[in-house]
Amino acid sequence: MKPAPFKYYVPRSVPEVLSLLNEHGYDAKILAGGQSLVPMMNFRLVQPAVLVDINNIPEMAEIQPHEKGVRLGAMVRHSQAEKDPLIKEKAPLVHETMPKIATVQIRNRGTIGGSLAHADPSAELVVVSTALDARFKIQNLNGERVVPASEFFVGLMVTAMGPEDLLVEVEFPPLPPRSGWSLKEVARRPHDFALVGVAAVVVLDKKDRCKEARLVYLSAGDGPISAPEAAGLLVGEQFTPALATAAAEKASADEIDPGSDIHATADFRRHLANVLTQRALEEAFQRAKGGK
Amino acid sequence: MKVEGEHLFNGTQKQVWDLFRDTAVMASALPGTEKMELIEENKYEAVMNVRVGPVAGKFSGELVISNEDFPTSYTMTVDGRGKPGFLKGAGDVTLIEQGANQTLMKYTGDVQVGGKLAAVGQRLIDTVAKSIIGQAFETLDNALAERVNAETEGRKADYRKSTESDYAATVAKDLIKNVLKRTGRDKS
Amino acid sequence: MENTFNLSVTVNGKSYQQTIDPRTLLSDFLRNDLGLTGTHVGCEHGVCGACTVLLDGKSVRSCLLFAPQVHNQEVLTVEGLGTIDDLHPLQEAFREAHALQCGFCTPGILTTLVPYLEENPNPTEEEIREAISGNLCRCTGYQHIIDAVKLATEKTNT
Amino acid sequence: MTYKVIGKRVKRVEDPRLLTGGALFVGDVNLPNMLHAAFVRSDYAHARIISIDTSKAKEIPGVVGVYTAEDMGDAWEPGPPLVSPPPTLENVVFNSRRQVPLVKDKVKHAGEIIAVVVAESRYIAEDAVEEVYVDYEPLPAVVDLEKCLEPGSTLVHEDLDSNLAAHLIQNKGDYEAARQEADLVIKRRFNLDRGAAAAMENRGLVVDWDPKNQHLMVWDATQSPIPIRNGMAARLGLRTHQVRVVAPFVGGGFGPKIMMFYAEEMVLPWLTMKLERPVKWIEDRHENFYATTQEREQIQDVEMALSKDGRILGIKQKIIHDTGAFNPYGLTTPLNTQSHSMGSYDVKNYNSEVTVVFTNKTIVTPVRGAGRPQGIYVVERLLDIACKELALDPREVRRLNFIPPDAFPYDHKIIDQAFTSLVFDSGNYQPAYDLALEKLGYDNFIKEEQPRLRAEGKHVGIGIVPFIETTGVGPYEGARVAIEPSGKVSAATGVGTQGQSHMTSFAQIIAEELGVEVEDVSMVTGDTAEIHWGTGTFASRGAVVAGNAVLAAASDVRLKVIKLASKILETPEDELELDGGLVRVADIPEKSISLGELAVLANPFRGAVEPGTEPGLESTKYFGPEYGATAFGVHGMILEVDSETMMIKIRKYVTVEDCGTMLNPLVVEGQIHGGVSMGIGNCYYEKLHFDENAQLLNASLADYLIPSSMEMPHIEVYHQNTPAPNNKLGTKGVGEAGTIPVPAAFAQALENALPEYELEILETPLSPNRLFELIHKREELT
């Protein structure tokens, strides 16, 4: 299991990266953390002719406050995000998600941007960024654009980025007051790809009624799968187990589109989505009521 | 892997039948088709560059149409090989008239994937298949619309052949609509 | 070779300069180019953890890094922890508790634990299990490894 | 017997090297001028080869050669049959079909080797592998164990008229008569699926032919270096002294590393002799899932006849055993299943039919447990079902059926894997079972804990099963022990070491016998230059067979020491003792001589030695048991299952092991922990998924799930000691014990945790998805 040959570039700045991407187009792959890419290269399922290593651009690895939220450079590593106090404060769901991603060795190397750009429908960050309505800053030689999560993920491992594009930053907007969140997932072993998972975010009014809700699922289709109708059932309501059940049933029966593999049939995934939604909603409502 | 589903086309049974027997259309519907040639009656030879995220593989193989029952049903078998593995499949296609100008296509089949792809990519194969089918119908819908329009306008239909490089960029972007439609994704 | 990379790296405190094929995996570079065969290769797809080394003090999978990626950085392998005559306290505890059988996964587990224990000198059993959950061992059922970690932390903390 | 060194928790001698990266594994062998091999393996499980085009691969710079079966010429021949069928059984059908070095015409399982590339680096070799084009005619794959026997089935071996690989019936007593008397007859079908051994180190081989010395040096990650040496020499037309095989440190074996003569072991020696350069091949993980042998796949239809008080009157069994594409390992595994299908019980009537089938899957040879877990699974599951049907306490039923302690040696009068009669040498089952019940807190759990936890909505269950393990089989093993002039001891045995701590526990035996420190004994395992005869490490036999050979050799050296010392110290032999590296007179400790001095005297440089004596303080001895030693134990667990997510957590795990004399309890416990972890894998995590084309769908460690530290419970290990009567040390094997009863205990605990679903678990491994299906099915029924 040795990778096929490639040409290796180590640009030192974003413009340098962009011109390399422009030059090589589909022949090039960006090497960020490499924790998904390199295994596939070792299996020779991926054989890029050119590898553009973006690990030597320090400004891409910064974490900064941004309009009451937080802004993460694409090259922020998972372990860096896991320990960052600003993320813990401004994006607690992101903070909580980090230890659930793979293993410590992977988190020490894997990057936020790499995970998002890879757009694996089983990746926690893909789902969490969708639930939090994150915004993706993309650059190419022609300039810069910002794409919301709802438009960033367009299909199975496909994003709104073309071969000339570089994801430079992700912004997580702040959660409103009286927000609650939860990420629940089931994996065969804790660090395996989850069989199914759900990120729930709710915002309550003063009477504990849900003002806004979002449910997004992982391993439930070809990308992060939102369940707006199930979320809609929650709006205007206070939490009851029956309400959670109704939303869970709606989402798992009608809104997700999971596949089958050796670990779980689509049926079992729908069942798990149902169970996890109920658990996630209970936790999210609880947290929202807890104030803050 | 069982593949099963249906798709409603905006065209008559005959128009849909013809659509499927048009090599150029078939070539454009299958993502990354580099070459598709009719080598003998009802037998095509194809080379495809399949790309799923970063995974790209070149497959070559044959596509055979049999059990033709014009204009309602036929059987399609595919047999392809590439460095990352092989795939073979057989499926039955039925076209059912739905009112004057619509045709419901029902398909059921069995696709088998082998080699490295199956061995290490198992987790995604089902979703990949769904994705490819989704894309194919998207393209076919467009092609059918173009054919129907061309027919009424009395001109030759014009298909843009999809290449590997614009597959992810354009086809995938087309897919946004499709995905949103199918999953009811929250756009807010 | 047309496609080459001139690599400078410090491994276990010693600096090396080598010209390599850029696709060389760090694990292969350490083992074959530098002869540091203590780093073992068990899967080459980032699951088993046998190839874990420290890159600038952090545990990473050396099979998921290309050697050029460690240019101008510091790598520590199991060979840099202790010697046969002067074992690292964690190595000593592993011996004491019979935390290794075939010993193939051991270097990766040691390199995972060394930085972990620096940050978490008093882990609970559950925390130790979590800490080594990215390292597969087929011989020990992990129990004696956990015993060894406890033993090592008890010794350092008294 | 009281020992000073044997039985102590001695720290391992081999550890400092392993801990510091200083131990040599086969992958660490790098020789000047060395080439690297990579293999072109078939994607298809069953296909005819139409043509092979290697031209493009050969053009790649750095490629030295690409070879196919045709290039091997006369050197092409299938591997040797390793284990023949039992000669003592009548009416055995056995169709021997052996694996080949490179496929000539038809591929019989995915991963079979079609061509080999040799290049200056492994990277280049793999580049070239991708450029070899093989044109196949795919054939339908033989997958299903039953369908493959139907007339008209596709044939794996077309020269046979069916896919039958072997057939045999073993009978004891008269089952049909017993059935007539029975109050209850239970018949069930069991599905036991495949798993991988998945040692952390894959296989590997470095070969180096030295034309000037006419000598072949081989480093091989094998469990059995001596048979490999013998076989290689025979295949290559060399004398055995021209081949040296070293099994250096080996990163786990678990059975498959003894499947002597893997294709790679046939191809590489041929390459080095042809190219006159060293050649290295290290199996990668992906290859390992296809090329390294696997085990456990069986379908069993088993019937148990019982009296209403729960006494087993008889068992009737039909086993279909999958051997994969070839059967080099004979009938070892299914014979083991038979040997364990009566468990620890006094079963008077037993009738068992084994049908072995060829399929287009990876070859099957023993994997840790080796057919035994399947036997224990069916007998324990049937007993559990019987207890439910008869409303009897499962503990009482087991007590009633245990072979009583005064019945040993207990002759089952069937043939075991060693082709000798299945005799249980010794045993004392009830106390071990009681100890396990006590340590697990069985009574308290059933009466208090479980009701309390259930009231809290928790699904907790308990499972406890006894098991036996036939261990320590022959034919023999040898050891050489020598005292060197330094006073230190060198020793060697032919068994290889893959983590079993031989270098320490065998050294303990020698240290005990010769009165030296363990550190002063240097034990070599797995080097054919050090000892000529031997078989290997398998069947939980190291401590029994090699251990007693070591003892025999050490005892003989001790006799020589005493004889010589008696002469020199002018003291009668019976007044001498060995301690601290000295021989001394018991009552006058200052009157002594060191072993080193004696060693010098035993090998005089000048003068005349006494005719008929041997020089040196050295001895080589062999040990071959008449029949094996039967270990025994009980495993129990308390598990919790989330009945919504199907996630499980084992809250408590208790084992009681009786492996006779323990050489080193620390090592024994380690063996058990590791065995249990593979056993837990076999319950809920580790399953090889083959599809209808015999394609393996989880050929990576991302999808083949080895338990991690998070899935493993804390294991409590307790010991009981019933020494083996037929060897001096009294040892029984323990290497596989931990794995054997786990799925049976797990199934019992899972059923117990989910009583509302009335599950009847008749398969292993399960998975969350499978458990969901089972529960769902029960829900639909009710």
**Which residue of C lies nearest to A106 if distances are taken between CA atoms?**
C60
Looking at residue D588, what DSSP letter applies?
E
- Strand, coil or helix: D142: coil
- Strand, coil or helix: D615: coil
* Inter-chain CB pairs, A–B, below 8 Å: 113
| CA–CA gap between residue A222 and residue B178 (Å, rounded) | 11
Query: Is B57 close to A163, i.e. CB distance below 8 A?
Result: no
Query: Is C68 close to A10, i.e. CB distance below 8 A?
Result: yes
Count Cα atoms within 13 angstroms, Cβ side, for D542: 32
Query: Is C23 close to A3, i.e. CB distance below 8 A?
Result: yes
CA distance A277 to chain B (A): 17
Question: For chain B (length 188 residues), average pLDDT per consecutive 10?
Answer: 89 90 80 85 88 82 90 90 88 91 92 88 84 84 86 78 44 43 38
Say if CB D43 and CB D698 are below 8 A apart.
no
Looking at the DSSP bridge assignments, the partners of residue D661 are none
Q: Chain C partners of D674 at a C-beta cutoff of 8 Å?
A: 101, 138-141
Beta strand extents in D427-541 (DSSP E only):
459-471, 477-483, 489-493, 521-525
**Which residue of A lies nearest to D773 if distances are taken between CA atoms?**
A268
Phi, psi of A77 (to 5 degrees): -85, 155
Nearest to D691 among B85, B112, B123 (CB): B112
| CA–CA gap between residue D209 and residue D113 (Å, rounded) | 23
* Inter-chain CB pairs, C–D, below 8 Å: 186
* pLDDT per position as a tens digit, A15-70: 999 999 999 998 999 999 999 999 999 999 999 999 999 999 999 999 999 989 99
Largest CA distance in chain D: 93
| CA–CA gap between residue B27 and residue B38 (Å, rounded) | 11
Residue C2, pLDDT score: 60
Say if CB D737 and CB D672 are below 8 A apart.
yes
* D interface with B, Cβ–Cβ below 8 Å: 43-45, 110, 130, 138, 286, 289, 689, 691-693, 695-700, 702-703
* Residue D166 CB contacts under 8 Å (≥ 6 apart), including other chains: D85, D92, D93, D94, D95, D323, D327, D331, D334, D354, D355, D356
Say if CB D271 and CB D279 are below 8 A apart.
yes
Each residue's pLDDT tens digit in chain A (292 positions)? 999 999 999 999 999 999 999 999 989 999 999 999 999 999 999 999 999 999 999 999 999 999 899 999 999 999 999 999 999 999 999 999 999 999 999 999 999 999 999 999 999 999 999 999 999 999 999 999 999 999 999 988 999 999 999 999 999 999 999 999 999 999 999 999 999 999 999 999 999 999 999 999 999 999 999 999 999 999 999 999 999 999 999 999 999 999 999 999 999 999 999 999 999 999 999 999 985 4
Q: How is residue D601 written in tokens? A: 């005297």
Phi, psi of B168 (to 5 degrees): -70, -40
C94–D contact, CB cutoff 8 A: yes
CA A263 to chain centroid: 22
| CA–CA gap between residue D546 and residue D540 (Å, rounded) | 11
- Strand, coil or helix: C106: helix
Q: Chain C partners of A191 at a C-beta cutoff of 8 Å?
A: 133-134
Residue B26, pLDDT score: 79
Phi-psi domain of D310 (left: phi exceeds 0; alpha: psi -120 through 50; beta: other): left
Q: Is the pLDDT of residue C140 over 50?
A: yes
* Residue D6 CB contacts under 8 Å (≥ 6 apart), including other chains: D508, D509, D512, D661, D663, D729
Question: For chain D (length 782 residues), average pLDDT per consecutive 10?
Answer: 91 97 97 98 97 98 98 91 74 93 97 98 98 95 97 97 96 97 98 97 98 98 95 95 97 91 96 98 97 97 98 98 96 96 98 98 96 98 98 97 97 90 95 98 98 97 97 91 97 91 95 96 94 86 92 96 95 95 90 95 80 90 92 98 98 97 96 98 97 95 97 98 95 94 98 96 98 90 71
Say if CB D501 and CB D667 are below 8 A apart.
yes
Say if CB B163 and CB B28 are below 8 A apart.
no
Query: Is A109 close to C60, i.e. CB distance below 8 A?
Result: yes
pTM for this entry? 0.95
Count Cα atoms within 13 angstroms, Cβ side, for D278: 15
Interface of C with D in 27-86 (CB under 8 A): 28, 31-32, 35-45, 47-48, 50, 77-79, 81-85
Tally of CB atoms within 10 A around B88: 18
Nearest to B187 among A43, A47, A150 (CB): A150
Residue C143, pLDDT score: 98
Name the burial class of residue D148, with classes exposed (0-12), middle (13-18) and buried (19+) by CB atoms within 10 angstroms of its CB. buried
| CA–CA gap between residue C46 and residue C16 (Å, rounded) | 26
Say if CB D666 and CB D8 are below 8 A apart.
no
CA distance A115 to chain C (A): 15
Query: Is A55 close to C69, i.e. CB distance below 8 A?
Result: yes
